[in-house]
Amino acid sequence: MRGVLLRAVVTAVTAGAVVALAGCGEPAEPAGGTGGTGGAGTASSTSARSISPSGKPDVTTVTATVTHGKVKIAQSRVKVRRGATVRITVTADAADEFHLHGYDRTVTLAPGRPGTLELVADKPGVFEAELHHSGARVFELQVS
C-alpha cells in the first residue's frame, strides 16, 4: 500500500512539472541557433553566473519603447552569454503586458511608465519577447 501511494505522489509531481514546463516559452530555435535579445525580470538560477574580466557579473541592458504599436529598440536580436544577467526595460504608450518566452517572465506595463525585468540567462536558445495585448514583437533574446 505504501509503495502504491509513493508511486502516485511521484507521478503527480512529475505530471505537474511537465505541465508547468509545457506552456508558452519554447525556444524559437534549438540551442545553438542564431539571434537573440535580452528581456527584463527577476529570476533566480542555480547555474553559474557569467563574470566579466573585471570580476563583476556580466549584465546586458536592453531598452525598448513602444509607441502606437511600433517598437523602437537598438537591436531586434540581443545576444548574451549563458549565465549573463539581462535587464530589460520597456516603456509603452498604452497599457500592456511584456512577456519573455522560454523564461515565462512578464511585466505589466502602465502607459508612459517603464517596466523592468531582470533575469539570469541560464537557458540556451532563442526566445521571443512580445507585448501580449497588442501582439507587438519587441525583440529576440539569443543565449549561447
Q: Is the predicted pLDDT of residue 10 greater than 60, yes or no? A: no
Q: What is the pTM of this model?
A: 0.63
Cα 93 to Cα 68: distance, rounded to the nearest angstrom:
7
User: pLDDT averaged over the chain?
Assistant: 74
Q: Is the predicted pLDDT of residue 2 greater than 60, yes or no? A: no
Specify the pLDDT at position 58: 79
CA distances for 34 relative to 20, 24, 79, 131, angstroms? 26, 20, 9, 22
Whether domain 27-143 has CATH 3.40.50.720: the reply is no
Mind listing the pLDDT tens digit for each residue in 114-136?
999 999 999 999 999 999 999 99
Domain coordinates of the chain in residue numbers? 27-143
Better-scored residue on pLDDT, 118 or 30: 118
Q: Is the predicted pLDDT of residue 105 greater than 90, yes or no? A: yes
